[in-house]
Structure 1
Amino acid sequence: MSISKLTSDKVKERADIVEVVGDYVPLKKKGQNMWACCPFHGEKSPSFSVSPAKQIYKCFGCGKAGDPIQFVMDIEGVGFQEAIRHLAGKYGIEVEEDEARTPEQNLEQNERESLFIALNFAKDFFVKNLQTEEGRSIGLSYFKERGFNPQIIEKFDLGYALDGWNHFLKAANAAGFEEEILLKAGLILQKEGDPNRLYDRFRGRVTFAIHNISGKPIGFGARILTKEKNQPKYINSPETPIYHKSDVLYGMFQAKKAIRDLDNCFLVEGYTDVISMHLSGIENVVSSSGTSLTEGQIKLIKRFTNQVTVLYDGDAAGIKASIRGIDLLLEGGLNVKAVVFPDGDDPDSYSRKVGSQAFQDYLKENSRDFIGFKIGLYQEEFARDPIRKAEVIREIVQSIGKIPDPIIRSVYAKEASGLLQIEEEIIHSELNKSLIKSQKDHFKKVKEEAEAEEKLEELVPSHVQVSFLEKLSIHEREILRLMSLYFSESLDDEGKTVLEYLLSETLETKFQTANYERLYTLFKEMTSKSLVSDLKSLLSKFPNEKKSEIIDLIQQKWEISPHWTGRHGILVPTEKDNLVTSSYRAIIWYKKRYVEKLMSEASQNIKSAEMNKEDFDRVLILQSIYLEVKKVQMLLSKELSIVYG
């Protein structure tokens, strides 16, 4: 079933860009726009801009741009229909379906949607297995032993994979799923050397559904309950088109609201740690599921909070082996605290041992910032070894150096000085050395990349025409920018708009940059069919894949502070105040570059004719064409007050 146009239109009308983006990242107002660190790439200072007036977003770092629907598509990794459903649910809009699809149309659904459907079927299958005789005696009894009640089992979609080679495969086949999709979803395996032998990946194990941030199952973790020596304790879904382990945190779907509300994220190691903490009344918790912390997972946390508390098992050797994760969190711009449980305990075992209230009290009383935590971890070692103390100081300084905020770095340097009983100047001196080394390493890397790029460019033959095309592309973009940003603004008393003027002045030319020519053509088609009155209606006229290109043209990184006029009484002219001049100069520059391209082509034609010894009359004709074009170029240059020698 596909969503009706009426439903899509209601969603487009109701969806507010600030509300939609605000569900995923904390926004701060600066000028007329809202700003945040981009949720699509790692950055330390905000370059992600949200415009309430234009109802669009734009990242000036990675280039991502769009409207509320595109944002949901980008951040959830779903198609247009799924994004509409998501927003309809958010705003309480009833979803109306068009006529049912034919079987052929269902088969043509894109691969991602098919994978989501297959994984959801698997989740339901594993959950229902808990009600079978085998599931009750093995899977359900295990969960009850861990203290998991029916509500928590349902909340996390816990299940059981029956012990057998093809229980799931048979059920999926009966439901009409293609084996190719089941293979791509990581739900079944193919026997090596025998492509016709297929069998279940998960067998005789309890299952933990892994959800994406909107709650869709994208993979599974599965724990064996017997003591088979040749079987790993846990197996997990493989990488698939919709499941990338490095970008996923277990429990984030269930935790995101609590993380945002409490402005803190507890980070643990395993599935059962997350679930046990929920049982103890602590919901702002996620797990890296036994894998090393990644940059993608850190960015995911940063969407909801800047505060992280890492919970460590009471095993000193294990803590020291995994402490690198703290430096990664610091480097990602997060404020880090840590809690260590008594020796031999983890969050799961300790919460069951002491009960909910005592567990919560322990977390509050034993939470330490990363400086105190790290120093305490090595205190016994350096108390009896001065050389080891020097090494620890350097390790602490390196961690502080990972912090992007200079003020926070300074605060931690002062704290480290007191805890280590060493002069603050020495800490700052070592910190400066560390920062200088990091900057040198970064500069060296950038330099090496630039040199490699230059060598690569040397291998590409250069043609005179390429430089003209690059110059021309800049002015094609400028014309499209003015069309997009000021399309309905009047230029004269007769009401001629910016869009009408720019189109009338360029109709006899063809944009040389393919993407720009396609956008230009869309503008022509749009104006020939209907008028638009505002940016929202303008964007609605463009195909979804072209909206981001339009937004990329119109969203501005910098804006003039209102304080210049309001506080200082200084009137700062804007581009909009003088659209006549801006539009005219854009056209003259474009025509000048276009004529330069024609001159280059004419010059090449003359050389080619002379080399091929074509007749003298043809050479004269080509030369006269060149001279005529040159005259036009000189007139345009004069108009722009450019002097040529």
Structure 2
Amino acid sequence: MAIPEEFIEQLRQRTDIADVVGSFTQVKKRGSDYWACCPFHKEKTPSFKVDSQRQTFYCFGCKKSGNLFHFIQEMVNTDFVGAVHWLADRYGLTVPETRRRGDSAASEQRRQWREQGQKLLNEAADWYHHLLRQPEAEKARAYLQSREIDDETIEKFNLGYCLDSWDALCQWASSRGYSPELLEATGMVSKKEGSTSFYDRFRDRLIFPIHDELSRVVGFSARILSPDAKAAKYVNSPESDFFQKGSVLYGLNHARANLKTFGNALVCEGQLDVIACHRAGLVNAVAAQGTAFTENHARLLKRSTNNVILAFDADTAGATAAQRTIALLHEVGLTVSVVSLPAGEDPDSIFRHGGAEALRSIMSATEPAVPYLFRRACDTHDLNQPEGKSLIATDVLTAIRPLPDPITRTAHCQWLATQLNMPENIIFDALNTLQASHAQHSATTSFRPPSDPTDRPADRTPAPFQLPTFTMPEDNEKVWQTVFDLVLHFEELALRLADDEEITQLLPDTPLGMAISRVLACVDQNSWSDAMDSL
């Protein structure tokens, strides 16, 4: 559904860009304008101008400019719709949606139901946070104190506590007009087997609210407080319309605005690791739930950065998770490095025992993913034996295979051939075998014929025709040569191309692609006429 233009205009009138910019960087008024140090690049002298009358901004240093929505899109790393929701949340407004022709009453009812569910999740997180300050939560506060988690961190991550009760949440929600069915849909209660009554899913545990990238609560992770208890250490929200474990990264709502500054995302295993990193100033840290990193997680990070650092535990499970995660990150074109943590340590324990400086020092010692995998494989297999070499090559090539850039794949294979002291063509043959095996497996899993042709319904309609996915022509060097000639000689076309992020992301990492990028950089600096001289 679309956002009504009337609401967007209302939001424009309600907000002041100087006030919004001031929430990210210090703003000072000079005459009728406001000035600040640019939040998009490092500088000591303010060159970032905010025009409150026009509701626009412009940086004389990095040349970024735009309106209120452009500013939020850049700062929060979101799209236009996300920027509208971010601003609406800030000013306590509810974003309406335009009803399209054909929308049924059921669709409208479902939209309202989702809004109620989102409101319930946010309010429940605040209620759990309130309970953490009550006498019943002394055990939870003692645990946090033992982990040296201070009040500032508790507030930042909105940590909470759930009472040792089977129905405390049910009663609280009922008093606020929420139905048991909505509680169940949000994953906070379960239905008793063979009964219509419900009970609280989380009981006597420390609560970690899980937010999406727009800081909306979508679920919870609850840690047990009694070390001798036989229950699971963590209980997480189940999969639901509101919470998809494979699409949410813990801490991303705090980290996303910092990913550009750091130039990378730091991926840990758990919530306490993320919290420790943020306390140490590593505010680019995020985590999946445990080590269950998915392709959706990788694509989520790809929106905000091109580089990822993994900091998983130094045990067998952590090493296995790292190898699998590297392949997933490679598949979306991310550059990956790995931090090798000391045995028996994690970011949380390093921070508690050695402090912020110790954690920052260890996290700065990164190793590129492919050499890391080679070293780990050599620890497991005998490099001096033919069978060992084969297993090592397979382990490393499994992570190289998903890389989308052929030049990067080739360079890694050449490096691996040198390390194994083998001819390059043998390594490339092994890679091709893996590629073929993967392609065959993908084809097998994507096409599953019915076990019996007669089981097919006679009236089943065929699948709708789909246009093939666009791919760059094989002779793409000629295409980019034409693009280069056009942007070099036609300023209007160069201006359009410079504004199109999707096109600029397709530029190849070749001398020709770099030349086009240089011309577009001149366009961004209002110096297109100097482009020829810069080449």
Structure 1 residues 241, 408: CA separation in 2 closer, same or farther (over 3 Å shift)?
same
Aligned-pair CA distance for 1:420: 3.0
Partner of 1:617: none
- The answer to whether the aligner puts 1:220 opposite 2:220 as a matched pair is yes
Partner of 2:115: 113
Partner of 2:303: 303
Partner of 2:186: 185
Moved more, 118-127 or 381-390: 381-390
Residues 407-446 of structure 1 deviation map (CA, whole Å, 9 limit, x = unaligned) = 1112212222333333333322322333344445556777
Partner of 2:39: none
Residues 378-426 of structure 1 deviation map (CA, whole Å, 9 limit, x = unaligned) = 2233146442222111221232112111011122122223333333333
Structure 1 residues 560, 87: CA separation in 2 closer, same or farther (over 3 Å shift)?
farther
Aligned equivalents of 1:192 and 1:96: distance in 2?
Answer: 37
Residues 492-515 of structure 1 deviation map (CA, whole Å, 9 limit, x = unaligned) = xxxxxxxxxxxxxxxxxxxxxxxx
Aligned residues of 1:259 and 1:284 also touching (Cα < 8 A): yes
Partner of 1:355: 355
- Classify the secondary structure of the residue corresponding to 1:286: strand
Partner of 2:367: 368
Aligned equivalents of 1:199 and 1:450: distance in 2?
Answer: 43
Aligned equivalents of 1:245 and 1:567: distance in 2?
Answer: 47
Aligned residues of 1:264 and 1:306 also touching (Cα < 8 A): yes
Aligned residues of 1:246 and 1:294 also touching (Cα < 8 A): yes
- Classify the secondary structure of the residue corresponding to 1:163: coil
Aligned equivalents of 1:287 and 1:189: distance in 2?
Answer: 26
Q: Normalization by structure 1: what TM-score? A: 0.56
Root-mean-square deviation (CA, aligned residues, Å) is 4.2
- The answer to whether the aligner puts 1:341 opposite 2:332 as a matched pair is no
Unaligned runs of 5+ in 2: 16-65, 71-77, 97-107, 468-478, 494-535
Partner of 2:518: none
Superposition map of 1:551-590 within 5 A = none
Partner of 1:169: 170
Percent identical pairs in the alignment equals: 29
Which protein has the larger Cα radius of gyration, Structure 1 or Structure 2? Answer: 1
Aligned equivalents of 1:563 and 1:387: distance in 2?
Answer: 50
Residues 559-580 of structure 1 deviation map (CA, whole Å, 9 limit, x = unaligned) = 99676667579xx9xxxxxxxx
Aligned equivalents of 1:431 and 1:322: distance in 2?
Answer: 20
Aligned equivalents of 1:344 and 1:313: distance in 2?
Answer: 8
Q: Aligned pairs, how many?
A: 405
Question: Which of the pair is proportionally richer in helix?
Answer: 1
Aligned equivalents of 2:205 and 2:461: distance in 1?
Answer: 62
- Classify the secondary structure of the residue corresponding to 2:419: helix
Residues 150-207 of structure 1 deviation map (CA, whole Å, 9 limit, x = unaligned) = 1111111101111122222222222222222112111222211221x32221110000
Amino acid at match of 2:141: L
Aligned residues of 2:245 and 2:289 also touching (Cα < 8 A): no
Aligned equivalents of 1:296 and 1:372: distance in 2?
Answer: 25
Aligned residues of 1:162 and 1:205 also touching (Cα < 8 A): yes
Aligned-pair CA distance for 1:89: 6.5
Q: Normalization by structure 2: what TM-score? A: 0.66
- The answer to whether the aligner puts 1:328 opposite 2:299 as a matched pair is no
Aligned residues of 2:88 and 2:94 also touching (Cα < 8 A): no
Structure 1 residues 423, 359: CA separation in 2 closer, same or farther (over 3 Å shift)?
farther
Partner of 1:254: 254
Partner of 1:233: 233
Aligned-pair CA distance for 1:88: 4.9
Partner of 1:206: 206
- Classify the secondary structure of the residue corresponding to 1:241: coil
Aligned equivalents of 1:265 and 1:399: distance in 2?
Answer: 19
- Classify the secondary structure of the residue corresponding to 1:343: coil
Aligned equivalents of 2:79 and 2:288: distance in 1?
Answer: 25
Partner of 1:123: 125
Aligned-pair CA distance for 1:321: 6.0
Aligned equivalents of 1:461 and 1:425: distance in 2?
Answer: 49
Amino acid at match of 1:165: W
Aligned residues of 2:373 and 2:395 also touching (Cα < 8 A): no
- Classify the secondary structure of the residue corresponding to 1:220: strand
Aligned residues of 1:4 and 1:96 also touching (Cα < 8 A): no
Partner of 1:158: 159
Moved more, 107-116 or 338-347: 107-116
Aligned residues of 1:341 and 1:350 also touching (Cα < 8 A): no
Report 1 or 2 for greater relative contact order, CA contacts < 8 Å, sequence distance ≥ 6. 1
- Classify the secondary structure of the residue corresponding to 1:267: strand
Aligned equivalents of 2:350 and 2:487: distance in 1?
Answer: 59
Aligned-pair CA distance for 1:358: 2.0
Partner of 1:585: none
